[in-house]
Structure 1
């Protein structure tokens, strides 16, 4: 074994690779029974103030069981490393002559000494990628199974979270988890993720701001316990609604972006969203705040369809005016008699209220119906 347990520390033989100044990578090995003694798993949650902490997806029992079965088979091969963030308290001591290629100047071998924490205190490492594998290894029969580890030094959760999002960018992470993590990532993101960052930030405000009509109603990966029981709207539905309005030239939120300067008027967007969706809540009180199986207004299809109607209504109403809330309510009242959020059949569409699903065809049909009925009702008043 390459690990050596000493009083208050674990010492491992390691390869140090310099990819970026001040952020060396360490490649080493741990036994299966050492991994969870050595590293914590940081799961997504929120503190009492509502601030996001952690970054890992919840434990998946079926997946873990499948890995354990494989590890307990006759000839398991486990090449995928577990990626960890290490405390800056670690110390690397280069082995004399350990750098086989002195001219490259980027790698050398030596001993990595990792101080162990006292009982009850955080461990010296955090698992950034490989949560399920680590838990499976801890349950496998072979306690000394050698496991490859790749680690970097990062004391801050922000840096760990940044690496977690990037590492899992091509994996099927739950969209809700990515949605919730994106606002917490400070460094530049790939275009596919960057375009979702602003809508994710706005979704976070809609969920957490006590003045928001969506306060406490949005399902978040980090929300659990009693708080989760009142959450009825998926955050991905909210993000999709906002993103479509922000990125489409015909969207009500599009004018709040200064593309030339790369700036966005978040205060203006929040005011517009608060005014419109508060008016929706007041126009449809019997459908608001119910789970989607009891109200399609709270369903992903309803949120997206009403978002497209928002683009039409706020295209004619200035949210900055003092009478904007009342004006938006009057616009929505034109539509109210024709909506079937909790019972009945949607006229022209031909679907019962609970047959509407969050698929492109239904979202398109519902959106077109709401906009058409709204426009006809407006013309009849002229």
Structure 2
């Protein structure tokens, strides 16, 4: 039977002020947590917008935690982290607070309506919560920390909470573009490249459409890190630099995407068969090929706005590469004393440099 009336879960809580923000520390029966907390699974909406941020449940991990919870003396001391929407309220108690930044009170959380979005999303602790959900115990109280935030900030907090844990890089790359607030420097540097990469992967008319492997595009065969490195190199030292604001790190993303798609559509048209093959069968879609051709793009297009590029001239230059290329068969003649089988090149700095030099000699001659 559908529940249509909302009830209020009232929990003792401590409100802690951190600058202009507030967080809430409270205890709750882990069996009740999913009554008001949802897990935001990462995916893409129909319009291509990123939805959610959580990776799938890891069954083996959940099973191990569950077995532990079902033993005598089990303890999970780490708090789970939840992000509340504006429906959750804190009512301070009448007792005077000893500390000016900490207030004892009651957290009021609405629960109990089917078909209505839950007022909280789980930012950290989904495997523990799933294990408690499945465990054959009557209850299992846990510590929790909550804060009020919108969807973009939830993603940032998710990245920050998991910064010291081995989150899959692909998941981070998809989350970064839609994240708001502070990000660690290594992630902040990749925010713009990751956003550009996402747009390349989502454009049905573009050469990279669904070819870049990400959590929301698992059938892609070009490694996201290869494309990211290519974009980063061009943003900071190459042709895409002209579209970037070096002060705040922002940029004209639409024009960057147009510039990249113009060049890489020529790559696709020059080598259509090799472009359709996975990296193990074609060095064109391998990291060494993506990065090396990225440097070729910078050489041929640096200093020109995409609207003023001579496509016919670039196509002619790419045909000169075709004469010496060994993307999926034959040999690379890197130097008089350095012949490599087509798959002998690896995604290492040295091999990227060797292949780049070979390709640049071809287009310059």
What is residue 62 of structure 1 aligned with on the other side? 60
CA offsets 1:155-214 (integer angstroms, 9 cap, x no match): x31221222122223322111111111111233433222211110111111112233211
The match for 2:104 among 94, 100, 109 is 109
The match for 1:50 among 48, 51, 58 is 48
Aligned residues: 358
What is residue 365 of structure 1 aligned with on the other side? 351
The match for 1:283 among 266, 270, 278 is 270
Q: TM-score, normalised by structure 1?
A: 0.85
CA offsets 1:325-370 (integer angstroms, 9 cap, x no match): 2211111111112222222333345443345443x25xx3244234
What is residue 328 of structure 1 aligned with on the other side? 314
The gaps in structure 1 that reach 5 residues or longer are: 1-5
Distance in 2 (alpha carbons) for counterparts of 1:282 and 1:350: 27
What is residue 184 of structure 2 aligned with on the other side? 190
What is residue 199 of structure 2 aligned with on the other side? 205
User: Residue 253 of structure 1: SS of its match in structure 2?
Assistant: helix
- Give the direction of change, closer, same or farther, for the CA distance of 1:290–1:151 in structure 2 (3 Å limit): same
Distance in 2 (alpha carbons) for counterparts of 1:187 and 1:200: 16
What is residue 124 of structure 1 aligned with on the other side? 119
Residues 239-250 of structure 1 aligned to structure 2 (within 5 Å): 239-248=228-237
Distance in 2 (alpha carbons) for counterparts of 1:287 and 1:335: 14
85-94 or 36-45, which deviates more:
85-94
Is residue 321–residue 362 contact of structure 2 (8 Å, CA) maintained in 1? no
User: Residue 236 of structure 1: SS of its match in structure 2?
Assistant: helix
Is residue 92–residue 112 contact of structure 1 (8 Å, CA) maintained in 2? yes
What is residue 3 of structure 1 aligned with on the other side? none
Compute the RMSD of aligned alpha carbons.
2.4
- Give the direction of change, closer, same or farther, for the CA distance of 1:12–1:365 in structure 2 (3 Å limit): same
Residues 229-244 of structure 1 aligned to structure 2 (within 5 Å): 229=219, 231-244=220-233
Q: Report deviation, 1:312.
A: 2.3
Is residue 344–residue 352 contact of structure 1 (8 Å, CA) maintained in 2? yes
User: Residue 199 of structure 2: SS of its match in structure 1?
Assistant: helix
Q: Report deviation, 1:313.
A: 2.5
User: Residue 335 of structure 1: SS of its match in structure 2?
Assistant: helix
Is residue 128–residue 163 contact of structure 1 (8 Å, CA) maintained in 2? yes
Distance in 2 (alpha carbons) for counterparts of 1:280 and 1:94: 63
Distance in 2 (alpha carbons) for counterparts of 1:195 and 1:44: 22
User: Residue 49 of structure 1: SS of its match in structure 2?
Assistant: coil
The match for 1:37 among 18, 28, 35 is 35
Task: Report runs of 4+ in structure 1 exceeding 4 Å deviation.
Answer: 260-263
175-184 or 62-71, which deviates more:
62-71
Distance in 1 (alpha carbons) for counterparts of 2:253 and 2:30: 47
CA offsets 1:18-42 (integer angstroms, 9 cap, x no match): 2243x42111112221122231000
Is residue 39–residue 123 contact of structure 1 (8 Å, CA) maintained in 2? yes
User: Residue 91 of structure 2: SS of its match in structure 1?
Assistant: strand
342-351 or 272-281, which deviates more:
342-351
